[in-house]
């Protein structure tokens, strides 16, 4: 077999992928459409693997194919767009790869079009899965005035209390802190500078 | 216990010609229960209204305020006070405690009007001494008030913060991207637990995406608007 260059993988894919794609060709267009939908549904939200499994089982039951074989075919089929997403391939490149793998032209075109429409949602979800260290989940604040204390009968200081809810890798932690008013104003000023930086870079 | 004055005339308007250990007790104004304080005040003969001694009294009051909450004043301080007023260590400790409580009461009622401060003393208290103490209170009131405010109960306080903006260029899920993100580090200091230790400062690092930073800034702007509306009222 001539060594064709694939976009989604550096080396030639294993033979199992070729044979699984041939199996795909045997599906009717409507059934193929369902499978493509499952692919995109999973890629947009990879945490919902349970849902994918139930979808595949229902599909196998409805169409009279064995669930195990279907899962293998689906796995090979899924590997192509998931690698393509990591490399941010264009719809044409994906279409080329699918045709080189043996998929019929019509099915490859259909997939390419679906890829184009879903590309934005897919990239966004991939970005969302990117590692974030100590991500800030929520911030609660309250501010008030100290009326009196055990040492002073009349105090009049304003204070600001912040509660930050942070997602450390091992769970959610709350941190509490208090700011005086000048500190709050300088904090606000610096955060506005940071926001301007972020906007400039977007 | 009276010591005879040796020849030099007393400059004060009070007709007493010598000072000795004086013991006073009075009812503190504004409190529900009767508090009895004893103040032992020893003055060197003839010299209480001269400048050097006024400084000494001022210094004693300031030290008394500084150690007002401690159970045991450091020995070095006690020795110095005992030497200055020519009394024993036990009496020096009682002196500091009593002066400290008096200063605490003065700071609590907060006013710098001499009339109010004079109310803290009983009617038969030595007048010049009372005026001197009132004057010291008025002078030091501002700095004592800010010391009290710094010591008060609070959540851990933010001491400093730092931020930087990074750009993420690639990750496990996407090989090429250009996503800016903000990292914020805040230094927070707990309340002091022991008198002889500076409380430790912990670092809290947080990563903010653009949306998170926008939302946070919305919240902070709301705070600022509310603050300015309260200030204008």
CB contact under 8 A, A146 and B157: no
**C-beta atoms of A191 and B179 within 8 A:** no
Interface A:B, Cβ pairs < 8 A: 148
Residue A177 contacts B, CB cutoff 8 Å: yes
For residue A91, what are its two tokens? 């719809």
Q: Residue A198: which of B151, B153, B165 has the nearest Cβ?
A: B165
Identify the pLDDT of residue B68: 82
pLDDT score at A68: 82
- What confidence tier does B35 reach under pLDDT thresholds 50, 70, 90? very low
Split chain A (202 residues) into runs of 10 and give each run's mean pLDDT.
66 80 80 84 82 85 81 84 82 84 83 85 82 90 88 86 92 93 93 92 84
The whole-model pTM stands at 0.71
Give the residue-averaged pLDDT of B203-225.
92
Residues of A in contact with B224 (CB under 8 A): 185, 188
Which A residues 8-67 touch B at CB under 8 Å? Answer: none
For residue B205, the model assigns a pLDDT of 93
- The rounded percent of chain B whose pLDDT value lies above 70 is 77
Q: What is the mean pLDDT of residues B52-79?
A: 81
For residue A114, the distance in angstroms to the closest alpha carbon of chain B comes to 19
Name the CA dihedral angle for B127, B129, B133, B134, rounded to a multiple of 10 degrees: 20
What pLDDT does residue B132 have? 82
Q: Examine the pLDDT at B27 and tell me if it is beyond 80.
A: no
Å between B157 CA and nearest CA of chain A:
5
Test the A interface: residue of B153, B169, B216 with most A CBs within 10 Å = B216
Q: What pLDDT was estimated at residue A177?
A: 93
**Which member of A88, A177, A178 has the closest CB to residue B176?**
A88
Where residue B120 falls among pLDDT bands split at 50, 70, 90? Answer: confident
Across the interface, do B107 and A152 touch by the CB < 8 Å criterion?
A: yes
Mean pLDDT of B19-27: 34
Calculate how close chain A gets to B182, using CA atoms only, in Å.
Answer: 7
Q: What is the 3-state secondary structure (H, E, C) of B64-126?
A: HHHCCCCCCCCHHHHHHHHHHHCCCHHHHHHHHHHHHHHHHHHHHHCCCCHHHHHCCCCCCCC
pLDDT confidence of residue B159:
92
Report how far apart, in Å, the C-alpha atoms of B205 and of each of A71, A175, B165, B208 are.
Answer: 43, 11, 13, 10
CB distance from A147 to chain B under 8 Å?
A: no
Widest CA span in chain A: 91
CB contact at 8 A, A165 and A138: yes
The distance of B124 to chain A (nearest Cα, Å) reads 27
Report the pLDDT averaged over residues B80-99: 80
**A188–B207 C-beta distance less than 8 A:** no
* Residue B40: per-residue pLDDT: 42
Q: How confident is the model at residue B21 (pLDDT cuts 50, 70, 90)?
A: very low
How many other β-carbons are positioned within 10 Å of the β-carbon of residue B216? 24
Between B36 and A147, the higher pLDDT residue: A147
Tell me which residues of chain B, numbers 12 to 71, contact chain A at a CB-CB cutoff of 8 Å. Answer: none
| The pLDDT value given to residue A4 | 66
- DSSP lists the bridge partners of residue A159 as A144, A180
What tens digit of pLDDT does each residue of A82-99 get? 888 888 888 888 888 888
> Which residue in chain B is spatially nearest to A174 when comparing CA positions?
B204
Does any CB of chain B come closer than 8 Å to the CB of residue A164? yes
What mean pLDDT do residues B217-227 have? Answer: 91
**pLDDT (0 to 100) of residue B93:** 82
A160/B contact by beta carbon, under 8 A = yes
């Amino acid at each position: 077999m001539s060594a064709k260059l694939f976009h989604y993988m550096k080396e030639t894919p294993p033979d199992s992928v070729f044979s699984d794609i041939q199996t795909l060709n045997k599906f009717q267009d409507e059934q193929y459409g369902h499978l493509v939908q499952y692919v995109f549904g999973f890629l947009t939200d990879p945490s919902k693997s349970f849902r994918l499994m139930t979808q595949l089982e229902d599909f196998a039951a409805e169409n009279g194919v064995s669930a195990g074989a279907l899962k293998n075919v689906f796995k090979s089929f899924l590997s192509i767009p998931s690698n393509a997403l990591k490399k941010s391939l264009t719809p044409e490149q994906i279409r080329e790869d699918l045709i080189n793998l043996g998929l019929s032209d019509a099915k490859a075109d259909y997939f390419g079009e679906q890829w184009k429409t879903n590309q934005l949602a897919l990239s966004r979800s991939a970005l969302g899965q990117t590692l974030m260290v100590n991500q800030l989940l929520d911030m609660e604040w309250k501010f008030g005035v100290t009326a009196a204390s055990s040492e002073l009968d009349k105090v009049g200081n304003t204070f600001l209390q912040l509660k930050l809810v942070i997602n450390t890798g091992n769970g959610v932690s709350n941190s509490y802190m208090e700011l005086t008013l000048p500190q709050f104003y300088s904090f606000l000023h610096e955060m506005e500078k940071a926001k301007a930086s972020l906007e400039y870079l977007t | 216990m009276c010591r005879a004055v040796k020849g030099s005339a007393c400059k004060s308007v009070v007709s007493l010609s010598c000072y000795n250990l004086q013991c006073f007790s009075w009812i503190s104004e504004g409190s529900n229960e009767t508090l009895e304080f004893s103040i032992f005040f020893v003055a060197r003969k003839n010299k209480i209204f001269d400048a050097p001694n006024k400084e000494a009294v001022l210094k004693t009051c300031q030290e008394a305020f500084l150690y007002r909450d401690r159970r045991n004043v450091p020995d070095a301080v006690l020795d110095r006070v005992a030497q200055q007023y020519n009394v024993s260590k036990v009496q020096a400790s009682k002196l500091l405690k009593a002066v400290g409580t008096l200063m605490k009461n003065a700071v609590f009622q907060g006013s710098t009007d001499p009339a109010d401060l004079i109310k803290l003393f009983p009617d038969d208290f030595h007048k010049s001494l009372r005026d001197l103490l009132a004057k010291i209170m008025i002078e030091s009131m501002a700095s004592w008030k800010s010391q009290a405010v710094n010591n008060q109960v609070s959540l851990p306080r933010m001491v400093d913060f730092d931020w930087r903006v990074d750009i993420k260029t690639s990750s496990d899920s996407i090989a090429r991207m250009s996503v800016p993100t903000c990292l914020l580090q805040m230094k927070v200091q707990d309340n002091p637990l022991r008198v002889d230790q500076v409380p430790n400062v912990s670092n809290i690092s947080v990563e903010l995406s653009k949306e998170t930073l926008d939302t946070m800034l919305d919240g902070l702007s709301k705070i600022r608007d509310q603050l300015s509306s309260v200030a204008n009222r």
